A and B are shown apart, each in its own frame.
Chain A
Amino acid sequence: MTLFSPKTAVVEREGWDGEAKGLAHLVDGQLDTRHGAILYLEEVCVSFDGFKALNHLNLDIGVGELRCIIGPNGAGKTTMMDVITGKTRPDSGAVFFGQTIDLTRYREAEIAQLGIGRKFQKPTVFEAMTVFENLQLALAGPRSVWASLRARLTGEQRDRIEALLLRVRLQEQRHRVAGLLSHGQKQWLEIGMLLAQDPRLLLLDEPVAGMTDAETEKTAELLLSLKGHHSLMVVEHDMAFVEAIAERVTVLAEGSVLAEGSLAQVQADERVIEVYLGR
């Protein structure tokens, strides 16, 4: 764990516009999105054995925004998600959730509890449990050993799970063991589990990989319905899907932002064409 406090980090950061002069409101662990952004990455660098996976990356996501991240292989998309969710510590730079929460100070589980949900590239669900149990386990609530020993499902929780089942179209499968679901259904279950945590920000790594066209379309509908209530960051290769959901697209290349704008804008960008086609 890094030892520096978020306050000094804020003060020392270069280019800070001085907007947050009233430092008294920096209450640790409370999400403050008064400035309209839910996630800031500033000058984030990560290198693995000399390879710069992230190279002075600057990015911010607005509250309720649905942002798509595209970029060629090795652009640092997954590393960026690892940094945000606490799996990888950045070598330098700042990662803030809202105005006040320095994510580099927290572990994975704490970050999840703060309100950031993550879907993996490969659908990852608890295969030995039923769909219902998967959602139950993910449901927002206390996470301690003691709580798990005493936990009883309340009627309210049951209703929430039913609503989630409906939302991710798995009502019929509720008592099926998750390991027996199709690939697309597992993806949906995982998204359902993210929603069960009631996160403020969802990070989705290739949510439609391996889905049929019909499934992809339904997933697009689902994500669009989440926009506004949640902020979303979607990494995807499927351009048709990106076109269907995204207002703003960020192109990553070699660990930093290459271009940002509407899909049409970035697709017209010379440099983007260059990295995609190779030089």
Chain B
Amino acid sequence: MQSELMSQPYSMRLWAWLGPQLGPLLLAALLLLGVALPLAHALLPADHPWFISAYTLTLAGKILCYAVVALALDLVWGYTGLLSLGHGLFFALGGYGMGMYLMRQGDAELPAFMTFLDWQTLPWFWWGSEHFLWALVLIVMVPALVAGIFGWLAFRSRIKGVYFSIITQALTFAAMLLFFRNETGFGGNNGFTDFKTLLGFGIAEPATRAVLFLLSLALLVLAWLGARWLVNSPFGRILTAVRDAESRLMFCGYSPLYFKLTIWVLSAVLCALAGALYVPQVGIINPSEMSPANSIEMVIWVALGGRGTLIGPMLGAGLVNGAKSWFTVAFPEYWLFFLGFVFIAATLFLPHGVVGWWRRLWRKSA
């Protein structure tokens, strides 16, 4: 057996070894990037050939945040069978929470957009947002509450399948319309921008950018490890049981409501944390983050990467967003066509996503 393996060409042996190592490979790549990118950005002079520009670093940080979203969405869709077409809402709520804090960092008493609206006092829901810790509480608790209340109502009424998806879509759309209004108190369609400092550090400084990038990476790796533990626990098996045979689960004596609610809220909070790290990196948050199209794009990341796996959604978020950043520069008007094509192709030819395809390839050769 051993000698047979040794006599195979080197490439075959490499493949046989690499095939099942998709997870460790991705982790290694992430950690390598995590060291190299921020160092190359913060320490190298701007004319150095290996210098990483602020644009590239921000793009990479953004993609890491998106990967967290994809992971969170996969926990509810891939593992629990609840297709959410409104996860952009939770991402945006986390972003707005961080944005509120960032908007309060100047010397002025009120954020600029409120002065333009001729408001004299701060609305009550802005109270305390100048404190970072309170902002963190908002970032976690507001999406958790929204998800909790929505989930409780939807799951208790046993809304499932396509009906559930449509309602999530409606929810994010309604929230977008609400946030578009100036009177709502979140800057209307301009949202928040023009951030200056974060915890006293200049938001555009290389070191700040490097740290934000590293925090995004840390969030992704922690979310990944946490999700791994979760899906392999008895809790995770019950999630797949909800997905595959919910009525069987009920007649086994489990109440699916609480299992769905737990993973739904957890997923929303993960998205919110990703949104909170995303906003200081890209420097803007506005209601278009809540547009249904954004949430649908998130679903495409998961579908392309491979739902029901943990590596897949992260890869999918990277592939789609990597392609997007290239496409929107090279052929800006064709991006949406391309995205649609990717979704159709993934549905038709890669039912288990890139990861499923990789595994099949490896199994065939093995």
Contact = CB atoms under 8 A, between A and B. Distances in A.
A193 B252 contact: yes
B325 interface: no
B127 interface: no
Interface residues of B, number: 23
A84 B237 CA distance: 27
A148 B235 contact: yes
B251 A112 contact: yes
A90 to B, nearest CB: 18
Nearest to A117: B251
A120 B255 contact: no
Contact of B234 (A110, A128, A151, A193): A151
Contact of B248 (A120, A136, A145, A151): A120
B262 A145 contact: yes
Interface string B149-175: 000000000000000000000000000
A112 to B, nearest CB: 4
A197 B240 contact: no
Contacts, number: 76
A109 interface: yes
Given A137-B234, A137-B238, 17 more contacts: A107-B255, A108-B251, A110-B255, A112-B250, A112-B252, A117-B251, A125-B245, A126-B249, A127-B245, A128-B244, A143-B255, A145-B258, A145-B262, A148-B234, A149-B235, A197-B252, A197-B253
29 contacts: A107-B250, A108-B247, A109-B254, A110-B253, A110-B255, A112-B250, A112-B251, A117-B251, A120-B247, A124-B247, A125-B245, A126-B244, A126-B249, A129-B241, A133-B237, A136-B234, A137-B238, A137-B241, A137-B252, A143-B253, A143-B254, A145-B258, A145-B262, A148-B234, A148-B238, A151-B234, A190-B248, A193-B252, A197-B253
A85 interface: yes
Nearest to B229: A149
A137 B248 CA distance: 11
Interface in A100-127: 107-110, 112-113, 117-118, 120, 124-127
A133 B250 CA distance: 16
Nearest to A116: B251
A57 B253 CA distance: 26
A127 B81 CA distance: 14
A143 B256 CA distance: 10
Interface residues of A, number: 30
Contact of A127 (B237, B244, B249): B244
A209 interface: no
B238 to A, nearest CB: 6
Interface in A179-230: 190, 193, 197
Nearest to B259: A145
Contacts of A138: 252
A197 to B, nearest CB: 6
Interface in B222-245: 233-235, 237-238, 240-241, 243-245
Contacts of B235: 145, 148-149
A143 B252 CA distance: 9
B234 A144 contact: no
